[in-house]
């Protein structure tokens, strides 16, 4: 995909595929995978190739960064124990178990290459899991654990792939070697991430232009990754730490305009990146399948074994990690004992995605000379196919059944009333503070202006309490929003007619329309 036309075609197809998935209620990555696979058989359709550098530096960093920006730091810190057990412990155990299982089935493949494959398929991806989790209404703690796991397991997996690849070319490998390497890489990434976060925060505080804020935010993950890679530390950890810190500090760093604009920019960016990357995976599947030299029976056997082991290991890990840990008094006092349905749903939420795709591309070609060492012969095409097949299988099997499983087991949480009550209480305190600020600074202001502002504060406070009332009938704030939108539509029409008749210039229409759009957007946000 080298031409601009090909790129535009890919983006257009990913947008249509995502829209179709939302309309049908399917998982968007799965629809795009199938669409890509189908298009790969269309005569004349351009071939696609995803390089490891493109995924690791061009696609993965912004996805991780925006996920970290949106993660609640207090919730993340409260769930750190289960997150680390999954993101570090489970990934390492999975890599070794898969490695030995593949080596048993394909004895001609070196154990180091098999462990590398295990590390490639070990980390679940957050894109589809958390999207489904939020849509189904899983408890917030479950969503936090899934998000936190996907933010940190990438670093563990990528470090393990590098260590195992080094072992493939003659470097010693062992559990202690990998543990030490993970600790060193993660520690370096932590330091770089904190330095980058502080530097970016100061830059955002100094900038007063919302466009420059957007530019700095878009550049931040790429700069952090490049610096971390140059210093041979974990770029994933660096990006995640930067995103967590800045996401927690954004209310103090950016203006209201910058925050609203940045949210829109990142939503569009992640939407396009996620769509294109899964479409490209589907487009590559045909080429990968055709390049496999291993027999069909053996390929199916190995792929099925890995998928089964991945699912089984996650279940065998989750139950002891959930319940045995509560034998420790400190853990028992801090965390409630969840029903068995909760670890069951978390165990089934093991869909693979972008990280598995990126890591598979880093496998060296047999016969290549890297760092003066010869890469031994091993079935690389088979391993790459298995990585892609695991992505498809987990999305197809687990992604499509997770909502039904969660609803069947009753793992759902309706926090509407609880959130409304908390919001109303805080809004009452905020309104009191606003009125005190108004009284302190109202000297010399017209009485009509003060009364109008006082009414606005009281209306906002009343709206918060209304959400606790009867949901079956239209509340005053809902009626206000409905009627005001009709009024805005009428005002907008009059301005357009005046522009068309030449009574006002285009600039006046743009200014008036912007004010009406902002008000309408605020009305819709207040109703969400």
How far is it, in rounded angstroms, from Cα 203 to Cα 206? Answer: 5
pLDDT value, residue 162: 83
Inter-axis angle of helices 256-291 and 380-393, to 10 degrees?
Answer: 130
Which backbone phi and psi does 373 adopt, to 5 degrees?
A: -115, 145
Q: Quick one: tokens of 22?
A: 């939302």
- 3-class state of residue 373 by DSSP: strand
Compute the average pLDDT of residues 515-519: 82
> Higher pLDDT residue, 453 or 389?
389
The secondary structure of 110-173 as a DSSP string is -HHHHHHHHHHHS---HHHHHHHHHHHT--HHHHHHHHHHHHHHHHHHHHHHHHHHHHHTT---
Which backbone phi and psi does 47 adopt, to 5 degrees?
A: -75, 150
- 463 to 32, 427, 436, 450, 451: CA distances (angstroms): 41, 10, 20, 20, 18
The overall average pLDDT reported for the chain is: 83
Compute CA 254 distance to the chain's CA centroid, rounded to the nearest angstrom: 22
Which backbone phi and psi does 374 adopt, to 5 degrees?
A: -90, 130
pLDDT value, residue 1: 45
Compute the average pLDDT of residues 68-84: 87
How far is it, in rounded angstroms, from Cα 528 to Cα 509? Answer: 28
Compute CA 94 distance to the chain's CA centroid, rounded to the nearest angstrom: 22
User: Over 80: is that where the pLDDT of 136 sits?
Assistant: no
Q: What element of type H or E holds 53?
A: helix 52-53
How far is it, in rounded angstroms, from Cα 38 to Cα 473? Answer: 48
Q: SS in 3 state form for 273-309?
A: HHHHHHHHHHHHHHHHHHHCCCCHHHHHHHHHHHHHH
Q: Quick one: tokens of 196?
A: 């980058």
The secondary structure of 168-208 as a DSSP string is HTT----HHHHHHHHHHHHHHHHHHHHHHHHHHHHHHHH--
Q: Quick one: tokens of 384?
A: 């790459």
Which backbone phi and psi does 370 adopt, to 5 degrees?
A: -125, 120
Range with the largest mean pLDDT of 58-62, 164-168, 307-311, 438-442 = 307-311
229-270 pLDDT, tens digit each: 899 888 888 999 999 999 888 878 888 778 888 888 888 888
- 3-class state of residue 60 by DSSP: helix
pLDDT value, residue 245: 92
Q: Quick one: tokens of 486?
A: 């009709």
99-117 pLDDT, tens digit each: 999 999 888 888 888 999 9
Buried b (16+ CB within 10 A) or exposed e, 361-375: bbbbeeeeeeeeeeb
- pTM for the model stands at 0.80
Point out the least confidently predicted range of 50-54, 170-174, 224-228, 394-398: 170-174
DSSP 8-state code for residue 326 = G
pLDDT value, residue 318: 93
Compute the average pLDDT of residues 411-433: 68
Topology at the third CATH level for domain 4-366+373-410: Na+/H+ antiporter like fold (1.20.1530)
How far is it, in rounded angstroms, from Cα 367 to Cα 504? Answer: 72
Q: Cα torsion for 130, 131, 134, 138, to the nearest 10°?
A: -50
How far is it, in rounded angstroms, from Cα 224 to Cα 222? Answer: 5
Residues ≥6 apart with Cβ < 8 Å to 259: 250, 251
pLDDT value, residue 201: 93
How far is it, in rounded angstroms, from Cα 72 to Cα 145? Answer: 11
User: Over 90: is that where the pLDDT of 379 sits?
Assistant: no
* Spatial CA neighbour of 362 closest among 179, 507, 162: 162
Instruction: Name the pLDDT band for 168 (thresholds 50, 70, 90).
Output: confident
Residues in the chain: 528
């Amino acid at each position: 995909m080298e031409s601009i036309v090909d790129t535009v075609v890919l983006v257009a197809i990913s947008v249509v595929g995502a829209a179709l998935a939302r309309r049908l209620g399917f998982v968007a990555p799965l629809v795009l995978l199938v669409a890509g696979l189908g298009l790969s058989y269309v005569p004349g359709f351009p071939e696609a190739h995803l390089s490891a550098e493109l995924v690791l530096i061009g696609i993965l960093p912004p996805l991780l960064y925006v996920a970290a920006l949106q993660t609640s730091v207090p919730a993340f810190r409260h769930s750190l124990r289960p997150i680390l057990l999954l993101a570090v412990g489970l990934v390492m155990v999975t890599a070794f178990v898969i490695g030995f299982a593949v080596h048993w089935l394909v004895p001609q493949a070196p154990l180091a290459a098999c462990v590398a494959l295990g590390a490639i398929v070990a980390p679940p991806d957050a894109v589809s899991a958390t999207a489904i989790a939020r849509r189904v209404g899983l408890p917030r703690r479950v969503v936090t654990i899934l998000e936190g796991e996907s933010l940190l397991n990438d670093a563990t997996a990528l470090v393990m792939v590098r260590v195992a690849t080094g072992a493939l070319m003659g470097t010693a490998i062992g559990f202690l070697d990998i543990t030490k390497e993970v600790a060193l890489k993660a520690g370096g990434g932590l330091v770089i991430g904190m330095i980058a976060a502080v530097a970016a925060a100061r830059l955002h505080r100094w900038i007063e232009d919302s466009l420059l804020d957007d530019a700095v935010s878009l550049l931040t993950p790429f700069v952090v990754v490049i610096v971390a890679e140059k210093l041979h530390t974990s770029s994933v950890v660096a990006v995640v730490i930067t995103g967590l810190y800045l996401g927690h500090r954004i209310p103090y760093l950016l203006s209201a305009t910058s925050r609203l604009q940045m949210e829109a920019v990142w939503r569009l960016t992640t939407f396009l990146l996620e769509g294109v990357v899964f479409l490209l995976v589907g487009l590559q599947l045909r080429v990968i399948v055709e390049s496999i030299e291993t027999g069909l029976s053996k390929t199916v056997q190995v792929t099925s074994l890995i998928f089964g082991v991945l699912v089984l290991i996650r279940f065998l890990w989750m139950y002891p990690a959930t319940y045995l840990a509560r034998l420790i008094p400190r853990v028992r006092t801090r965390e409630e004992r969840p029903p068995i349905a909760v670890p069951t749903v978390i165990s089934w939420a093991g869909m693979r995605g972008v990280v598995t795709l990126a890591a598979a591309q880093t496998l060296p070609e047999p016969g290549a000379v890297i760092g003066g060492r010869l890469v031994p012969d091993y079935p690389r095409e088979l391993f790459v196919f298995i990585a892609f097949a695991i992505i498809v299988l987990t999305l197809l099997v687990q992604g499509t059944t997770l909502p039904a499983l969660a609803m069947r087991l009753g793992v759902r949480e309706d926090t509407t009333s609880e959130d409304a009550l908390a919001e109303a209480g805080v809004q009452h305190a905020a309104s009191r503070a606003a009125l005190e600020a108004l009284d302190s600074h109202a000297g010399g202001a017209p009485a009509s202006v003060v009364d109008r502002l006082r009414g606005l504060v009281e209306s906002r406070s009343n709206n918060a309490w209304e959400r606790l009332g009867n949901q079956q009938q239209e509340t005053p704030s809902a009626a206000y929003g409905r009627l005001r939108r009709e009024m805005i539509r009428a005002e907008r029409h009059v301005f357009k007619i005046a522009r068309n008749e030449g009574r006002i210039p285009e600039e006046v229409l743009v200014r008036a329309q912007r004010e009406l759009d902002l008000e309408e957007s605020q009305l819709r946000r207040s109703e969400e």
